[in-house]
Amino acid sequence: MGELDPVIHADARLRVMSSLNTLGSTETIAFPKLRTILGMTAGNLSTHLRKLEDAGYIQQNKVIQGRSPATFVGITTQGAAAFEAYKRQLLELL
């Protein structure tokens, strides 16, 4: 059995990946909505999103809506595959 993915294994990042995985690889969620769902501060969520993005597991798209900036977050194909592998390894462990 391989080692659990340390990028996903952190509690906050596991919650992020679980939430984004339910959307699928073609959907995104607005940053404020994701923050509310997870009950995280903006700074804490941003830190964890950056780590996931650096690993290629998520993507963030920053756009202008009207006159305000908005950030949308989604899981990548690579992220979905990594999350599935993480779940398999976790089940093996259990």
The one-letter code for the residue type at 4 is: L
Res. 1: pLDDT tops 70: no
Full-model pTM: 0.92
Six-digit token string for 29: 């969620």
> Considering the chain, what percentage of its residues have pLDDT values greater than 70?
99
Q: pLDDT digits over 48-85, tens only?
A: 999 999 999 999 999 998 899 999 999 999 999 999 99
Res. 2: pLDDT tops 80: no
- Sheet holding 29-30: strands in order across? 29-30, 68-75, 58-65
CB-based burial of residue 60 (10 Å sphere; 0-12 exposed, 13-18 middle, 19+ buried)?
A: middle
Sketch out the chain's domains with CATH numbers.
6-93 (1.10.10.10)
Write the DSSP assignment of 37-58 as a string of letters.
HHT--HHHHHHHHHHHHHTTSE
